[in-house]
Structures are given as structure tokens and as C-alpha cells.
Structure 1
Amino acid sequence: MADAPIEKSRDPLKISREEQNQHLEDILELSGGFGRFQVFQLVISLILSILCSCNHLGAIFVSFSPRFRCGNSSPVAPLDQNLTLDETFSSNCSDRCLTHEFDESTMVRTFVTDFDLVCDRLYLLPTLTGVYMAGIVVFNGAGGILSDHFGRRKVILFLGALHILSAFVTILVSSSYVGIMVLRFFVGGSIHASWSAFFVLASELTVERRRGVSGGVLNFGWNLGTIFLATVAFLLRDWHLLQWVFAGMSLVMVSYYFLVLESPRWLLRQGKFIEAENVYFRIAKANGVNDPTVLELMQQKLDMVRTVSESILIEQDQGFLKDGSFRSFLKQAQERIAELLRNQELVKRFALMSIPWFAIGMASYGIHFSAKLVAFDIFSLTIIKEATVIVTIGVLVAFYAEMRRTITLFLLCGLSGGFCIAFLFLDESLSLTRGIWLIVCQALITSNFFLLNTYTAEVFSTDVRNSVFSLIESFGKFGSLLAPFVVDLGGETHRGLPPAVFGMFLVLAAAVFLFMPETKSQPLTQGVEDLKDEKNSIAVLCSSRLRK
């Protein structure tokens, strides 16, 4: 790390809130910038991303619907000759069928084959996905609020323990549809809310110039996880064995008790100044920073930040659970929510960011299920798509570091939307072209997620960052909940319609970034009182140039 400029000590009482945000960025730079500590944090977060991806996208394989034919028939109403001679897995339904036989060429055992989820029981299949997504929505909303109140680390550890328990209990109730449905609520909610809290934590521990890298690595984990998932699914072809693999992998989260530190930004915001200082100096030690002059400058800046943080806590009268009661917690939460809703800039940013999260959440999840719309092997197509996404994100990480955030998101959302809409006009006989086009669509859409995750963490303040991030991400999961219905129902009308629908929502999402503030080269803000209408959005800048 290059030697940081040495500042003369100043009266801490004269530091402004804006200067406080910059000082916190300086402290991270002085503690080693993007050093060994940050790299190690990204490695353990990468493991969490892989686990999250396997659970989230595992539905592609564990809920795979193979072709089927009638098995046993009713003795009262015997099957007609055409049905009894069906040897081609034509997937024809009949009221006379009591059970079905399934084509095992792709997957030998799935939820569909175990619980006969075809024909009049077909509605039970998307119900499993809906309950999984509902768990994410509920846990994300609650986990974000709890993370901002009790800390990132505690929430990550609690949700990790809940996920491990849920993953293994799922195996025990594997013969019960209702049991699996209930457990998937907890499996999906716990792992995803844990990932959201870790993403926010990683953003708060990473210097501004490397947040694009941090977000890229966390998203790389999803792509690597999907490749791993497709490979293991190809080898095992049994949802029960896959669940054993996922449960075994979840045990890695036990190590987080020893490896994950609390966010020093959150500690400062809560008035836990000594603990925050200890974390910053532990980071410096891990990064090999031992120059007494640098460490002294770190302490000076921490003293300045502490003074401002204390004054903010006094102004807002934010005692931490003053009487320790649950009633006190609820009262404080109610007062805090009312205060936040009065902040027009926070409400505006939340409302605008909900739109791209919904659109990208729907498109990203839906494009995975759209693989059934092209005549390709599902295992090969999944691996090729994810490898392409990894290359795309790798390019964008470097691009994102140089370009304005809002312009990059505007262009990428618009481009991915255009490609998806164009899929509608590709003739179904062009199997290779449609397969390649779908791969490009997914690479662009999934890359949007990497950029959106990073930008969202930057555009909100520390005191509400995890709450807002998780609540907004819930809009994305609501979009994901609708995606399978768009694919299944829209695909019945026209096999190019689902990607086109996703594309139209992406074009709408692109327009949002015309009105959002630019965050490149800006420090993370500590409190909602620091959120200002920066007047640096694309729309404002274009309007100013036109007036000139």
C-alpha cells in the first residue's frame, strides 16, 4: 500500500458529518486498503455464495419435471388401448391413471417423481417454489432489520445455525410433501438472509475503489455454485442425494463463529467505540500494517469520528434498548420507522430501487427456467451459461471501476432488455441460435445483479443499509416467485414470449438509473441524515447541459 498522506491533528469537535464519512474511508485505507484481511473475507463469503446458489437454483434439478406416461389404472375404469400402449412418455394426462411412470434419462428422482406432481397435482410443484421464495421475503425483511439493530455478525451466525438445522431435518422428512414444503421456507429464508447480511458486511469492510471487486466475487460464487450444482446433479441425478450434499456443505458455516468480525461502521453507529477501534486495528494487523505513524493517524481519525458519532446519538436520543425489554425494542422500532419515512430522499431512493430489483429478480431467475424453451441438454446448457456469466462479470469488474455506476447500470439493463425482447422474433427451428441467444441473455441479466448489489449497498447509509438492502431484495424475490409462472404459462402461448416479457421489465428498470445519484468515488454514508439529493444523476446532468 502506498504511504498515506499524514494530516495534522485537528480539533475533533470541528469535524462535520460529511468529513466523518470520508474519515471512515481513510481509516480503511490506512488499515491496509484491500489487503489480506479483505481477501480472506471474500474467500469465506465466496463459500456462502456457492451454498446459497446451490439451494436457490437447485429447483432446476430437484423440481425437474420429466416426461411421463400412465402407470397403474383404475380397475373400475380400465385404460383405453392408446394409453396402455404408451411407450414414449408422451406426458398425456387421464382421469383413469392412478400413478405415473417417469422418464429417468435426465433425473432419476425429483420432487415430481416422488410425489407424482403432474396432471391434477401439478399445482403442488410451483407451490414448493412459492413457499421457498416466501421464506426469502420474510427472512430478508426480518433479517435486515435485526442486522441493523443487533449487528451483522450475530444475524449471520444465527441464520447459519438455522440453515444447518433445516437442511438436515429436510432429509429426515423427505417422504412427506408437507414436511418438505415447510422446511423449504426455512432453508431458503435462512441461507439467503445470511448472504444478504454478509454482502452488506463485505461492502462495509471494503474500500470504495475495490467495492466493485468485492461485489463481483460474491456474485462469482453464485455462478461457480451453479456450475458445481449442475455437475453434481449430472453425477447423482437424485434430489435426496443432492440434499445430503447441500446439508454437508452447510456445516462450513460453523467456522464463521471464529472467522467473521462485526462491522466497525455498525459498531460506531451503535456507540460501541472501543469495539469498533479494536476491529479496525485487528484489520490493520491482519494486513501487515505496523508503522507507528500510520497507526497513530488511524487513532486520530477514529477520535474525530467518535466525537461526531456521540453527538449524533445524543441528538437522536438513541439508547440501545434502554430498559432491555422487548416492549422498548418495539417502541424504538416504531419511532425509528416513522422517522425514516419522513426522510424524503430515503423514501425516493427506496421506491426507485424497488423497480430494478423486481425486474432483474424476475428476469434472472426466469431465464434459468427458460432453458426448457430450447432443445439443449439441461446440464450442459446450465454450465455453459454460468461460464459465460463469469467471463462477463470479470470484464465488468474492471469496467465498473472506471465508469459511472448509474451509466453502467442504465446501459447494461437496456442492452439485456433488448436482447431478451429480440428472442421473441427468433424462429423456433433455429435451435442453435436460440440456445446461444439465451446464453447471452443470461450473461447480461446476471451481470446486472453484480452491479445492482454493489450499487444498492453504496446508495444507502450504515444505520439502515442492511434493512433497506434486504427489503428491496425482497422485491427481487417476489419477481422470482412470478418468473416460473411467466415461463410456464407464457411458454404455452409462444416459446419466445417469456424472455420478451423479462426484457420489457428490464427496459423499464434501465430508466430508473437516469434519476439515481452517482456513487463512484463517494464514501459510504453513516446515517440517513447524510443522504442528500446530490444533483449528480444522469437526468440532472443532461438537463444542465441542455440549458447551457
Structure 2
Amino acid sequence: MKTFDDVITSIGEFGMYQKRLYAICVIPQLLTACLTLITVFTLNEHHHRCQIIDDSVNTTIDFPTWHYGDNSSYVVEASKCHISSFNGTGNVTSKTECTAWVYSAEEMSKTPISDFDLVCDNVVLRSHATMAFFGGTLVGVILAGILGDVVGRKPVMSIGVLALTTASMACVWSYNYTMFLVTRFLTGMSTLMVFAPCMVIPIEMVGPSSRVFVGIIIELFWCAGEVILCGLAYFVRDWRILQLTIAVPCTLLLSYIIIVPESPRWLLLVGRRKQAMRILRKIAKVNGTTLTGEVTDVGRVNASLRDVLVILRTPKLVLRWTIISFIWFTISLSYYGLILNAGRIGGNIYLNFLVSAIVEALGYSSCLVINDRYGRKVMNCGSLVLTGVACLSTILPAQLADDSLSWITITLSMIGKFGVSAAFGNIFIYTSELFPTSSRSFILSSSNIFARVGSLVSPYIADLSLLVDSMFGKALPLIIFGCLGLSAGLISLVLPETLNASLPDTIHDIMSTDTRTVKREWPGYNDRGDTLDIPLQLSTYSKRRSY
């Protein structure tokens, strides 16, 4: 019998067809990176102070700023949120909350903060705006998970590119905070509906030896998107123009509705064999090879819900799912938290962000070396432990409470970013290999739900540095990221290794160590609904000890 991997190997594991498709699928990563992380600059601390009568200072914001009366008999102090009046003896005669502000143009000339006055009592609205985007990604993950297994990967992507183009454009013309919030939510939702299929389709269309390369290089394009964003933000200081600059290229993604094919692996699993074989023949033709015969051992999956219920009845798979979900939560929270915290640990935000992007690229690149040599498990555990140790080490400079040592905090933060980026590059591949095609989209989406919950929490963790105004306050978010990273790294030791394993198509592939094990763990069921009374053919994957 021919497995899908056998067919892909025979017609080209990563031939010309897959390379062309891959080149197309990595482009959205540039745009989604920019749209996801744009708030690092647009919602970063925008220096301000209260506006006072006859105030002509619009670009230099000094604290406190003094304004004298005509006869110097009184003094007015304009701080960030209050205007205080003093008499000639220096006593406060009045103190009022200001209703208008002057904003610095040192980093950004205009931001949502200055347009919608997200300062003082409204400062928490910044975190809400970031949370709205990540809330959208949470909804996008759920939709992608449900629709991805039911109607296919391509329809999800098609809906996503339509929504992404519309929402990112509409955000430019946000006339109030509510519209800004809604458009950011819709942008977040659609980025995941584009991002997920553009990763899944190439991974499901290449052979095992190319899977790591495909999974990691696409992450490097995310880093390239970060570098592009940093350059754009440096030269374009008006947030609306910056948003428009990123939104316009999204219109090019509309062509994907026509040019990107459905995953043939998924088509086979839902019984659409003719369509799948047509795509496989096209792959063979472009690759200069010949497709002989058909795939015969991929069972038809009528409902992925059945497989999910089986997973929930199997303690080993439930444990695996739980651990993976916690790891996704930790990685996402730490990853986005470290990025959002880049402008609050000292130094120049543009330089910090650029270095962070380079460090992230190095983290992903390390996966190419370590993954195929030492395995996914070693990569996952080692990178998370490195993140934990580096972030927890920021306690030392924080204890010294010396601003001149902020470079140590920045360095440790970058080491943590390296570790969590390596973990991010590895976890998608690792999760894909731990679960079967019949429920892979659902498992990835459910794990992504926990990741999105982590990203929802991340802006509030990062903003702790604003609430605790000290060196320890700057280190507090990093300490939280460190504790989570260390815990996730150690608990991941329970998971099995999947190096050089065949990508499992059904739960049957995972559980079929032998007939006795299948009947004990999975009574009366296989991928076709038959009883399992005869020995089952073992795949490379199913020979490995798993939990």
C-alpha cells in the first residue's frame, strides 16, 4: 500500500511545484508580521503633558513644564495629567485634571494615543486596543480550526484574505477609538485565517525530509516582516500613513483565491480522491516526475469530531494535548510580551526592535541545525529553559536599582527572545507531527486558542512596567515570562520524540503499536470505524514510544 508520504517522495518531496507554492505562501507572513506588531510603535508610550493656556510648545515635552503669569505672582505646573497652580510662597492653590494634552513628536508624530487621547485615566485603553487584536486572532483560530477540517484549508484562506484587505484598509480611516478597536479586532481575526492555511498547505504537501525547512523558513519571512516594519516606522511617523502603507499590499493577496490549491492530503482524507489525484498529477508534471498508481491507505474521514472524541477518551493523548496547549500558551505570552516590552526596558525603541528581529531570526535558524540533528524534543525543552533562565536573571540588575545597568536587562531580554523564538519555530512542526492529519487542523487550532489567550494576557503583563516605576518594575514582566518558560521547558520532557517519523494521517497510525494496545486504548475503532482484530501495519511514527 502507498502512503501519502510515499507518493510525495516519489513525485518530489520539495520539487519545483512545491517551491513555487512555498514562495507564494510565505509572502503573507511579511504583511501579517507588520499588521500584528505595528502597535509596538503606534501604541508605545507617547510622551505628553497637559496643555496650558497660550501653549505654543508642540514638539518638546519637558516635565514639569512651567508657565508664569504676567506679573509672576503665580506659577502653573503642567504635568502629565494635572495642572497645578502655586502662589508666590510655593503653596498649591489649585490642582485640576487636564482635558487637553500636548504630545511629543520625537518618536511618532501622530499615534492612536494622540488622536484619541489614550492617556491618564484612559491609559488602560492602550492595552485594550492590543488585546482587541489578539482577541481577533483567538476568534480567527477557532474559525480556522472548525472550517479548516470541515470545508478545507483553501476556503478559510480565501475568507481570510478578503477580510484582511477590508479591515486593514478601514483601520486607516478610524474616526474614533471604537472604530479603531473594531478594525483591529477584524484584522487580528483575518491574519490568523490567512497565516494558518499558508503554513498548513505547504507542510502537508512536502515530504518528511523537507518538513522542518518549510516550517522554519516561513518563520524567517515573519522576521523579515519585522525588519520591514521597523524601517517603515522609522521613516513614517504618522500612524495612519504607516497603516495605509502596510494595508495597500494586502490587496495582492486576493489573487490567492485563484492560484493557491487545496491540500491534497486533506482532500484524500475527506474522500475527494479525484481532486486530490489531479493535484498530485500536476505536482508530478511540474516536478518532471511521473505519478504511478494511487494512494491506497489513507482512510476516509467523514467527521473529525469523532477523532477528537477518541483523543479525549485516551489518557495518553489527553496528556499530550494538555502539555502542548500549555507550551503554546507560554510561548505566545512570552513572545509577544517580550516584543511589546521592547520600548520599556530602556534604550532606543527602533534599535531594540531591530535587534529583537535579528535575534528572532537567529532563533528560528537554530531550528534548522538542531531539529534534524538532535530532535524536536531537545529543541523544545532547551529553548524554553534558555528563555526561562535568561528572563529570571533580570532579577540581578533589578536588585541593584541602577539605571546604568539597563543594558544588562536589554541583553537578557534579547537572549530570552532568542529562546522563545526558537521554541516558536519548533512548536508548529512538533505539534503537527504529534497528531494525525484527520484532526491536525483542530489540534493546531485548539492549541492556538491557548496561544491566543497567552497573547491576550501579554499586553497587560508588559504594562506592569508602567505600574511599577522602578528598575524592578522593568524586570517584573521578564520575571513572569521566565517562570512560565522554565515550567513549560521542564514539563515538555514528558512528550515523545518525532525525529524522522512519518507524518501520521489518522489516530490509527499513532495508536497502532500492536493489536493488543489498540484494543485496550481504543476499543472497537479505527480510522474506518472497523474493529481491530488483526495485526496492523506499523508506520515509523507508531513504533516510537508515545504519550
Q: TM-score, normalised by structure 1?
A: 0.83
Structure 1, residues 254-306: CA drift from partner, whole Å, max 9, x if none? 1212321111110011001111111111111222224xxxx32xx2xx2423x
Output the CA distance in 2 between the equivalents of 1:367 and 1:128. Answer: 18
Contact 1:67/1:103 (8 A) holds in 2? yes
| Counterpart check, 1:54 vs 2:34 | yes
1:201 partner letter: I
Contact 2:164/2:250 (8 A) holds in 1? yes
Q: Displacement, 1:89? A: 8.8
Output the CA distance in 2 between the equivalents of 1:82 and 1:512. Answer: 50
Q: Displacement, 1:169? A: 2.0
Contact 1:197/1:466 (8 A) holds in 2? no
Identity %: 25
What SS class does the counterpart of residue 404 from structure 2 fall into?
A: coil
Contact 2:140/2:193 (8 A) holds in 1? yes
Structure 1, residues 178-226: CA drift from partner, whole Å, max 9, x if none? 1111111111111123211221222111211111111111211211111
Output the CA distance in 2 between the equivalents of 1:89 and 1:32. Answer: 69
Match of 1:304 among 296, 303, 309: 296
| Counterpart check, 1:463 vs 2:455 | no
Output the CA distance in 1 between the equivalents of 2:255 and 2:77. Answer: 50
1:304 partner letter: T
1:431 partner letter: S
Aligned counterpart, 1:44? 24
Q: Displacement, 1:52? A: 1.1
2:21 partner letter: Q
Output the CA distance in 2 between the equivalents of 1:175 and 1:113. Answer: 13
Output the CA distance in 2 between the equivalents of 1:401 and 1:446. Answer: 17
Aligned counterpart, 1:223? 223
Contact 2:48/2:101 (8 A) holds in 1? yes
Structure 1, residues 443-464: CA drift from partner, whole Å, max 9, x if none? 2211210011111122111121
Aligned counterpart, 1:439? 414
Output the CA distance in 2 between the equivalents of 1:43 and 1:139. Answer: 24
| Counterpart check, 1:511 vs 2:494 | no
Match of 2:51 among 41, 64, 71: 71
What SS class does the counterpart of residue 505 from structure 2 fall into?
A: coil
Output the CA distance in 1 between the equivalents of 2:217 and 2:145. Answer: 21
**Aligned in 2, Cα 1:89/1:234: closer, same or farther, shift over 3 Å?**
farther
What SS class does the counterpart of residue 394 from structure 1 fall into?
A: helix
| Counterpart check, 1:363 vs 2:352 | no
Aligned residues: 485
Output the CA distance in 2 between the equivalents of 1:171 and 1:54. Answer: 14
The structure in which a higher percent of residues are helix is 1
Output the CA distance in 1 between the equivalents of 2:306 and 2:7. Answer: 32
Aligned counterpart, 2:377? 406
Q: Displacement, 1:337? A: 5.3
Aligned counterpart, 2:91? none
Output the CA distance in 2 between the equivalents of 1:401 and 1:119. Answer: 51
Match of 2:461 among 486, 489, 499: 486
Contact 1:25/1:207 (8 A) holds in 2? yes
Contact 1:361/1:480 (8 A) holds in 2? yes
| Counterpart check, 1:85 vs 2:67 | yes
Output the CA distance in 2 between the equivalents of 1:177 and 1:411. Answer: 42
Q: Displacement, 1:435? A: 2.5
2:330 partner letter: A
2:341 partner letter: S
Within-5 A mapping of 1:42-441: 42-72=22-52, 84-85=66-67, 91-93=80-82, 95-172=96-173, 174-290=174-290, 295-296=291-292, 299=293, 302-305=294-297, 309=299, 312=300, 318=302, 338-426=309-397, 427=400, 428-441=403-416
What SS class does the counterpart of residue 69 from structure 1 fall into?
A: strand
Q: Displacement, 1:160? A: 0.9
Contact 2:307/2:439 (8 A) holds in 1? no
Contact 1:89/1:102 (8 A) holds in 2? no
Output the CA distance in 1 between the equivalents of 2:103 and 2:14. Answer: 53
Structure 1, residues 459-486: CA drift from partner, whole Å, max 9, x if none? 1111211122122112112111111211
Within-5 A mapping of 1:7-46: 15=1, 23-46=3-26
Output the CA distance in 2 between the equivalents of 1:207 and 1:199. Answer: 15
Unaligned stretches of 5+ residues in structure 1? 1-14, 75-80, 319-331, 543-548
444-453 vs 334-343, greater mean Cα deviation: 334-343
Structure 1 vs Structure 2 CA RMSD: 2.8
87-96 vs 481-490, greater mean Cα deviation: 87-96
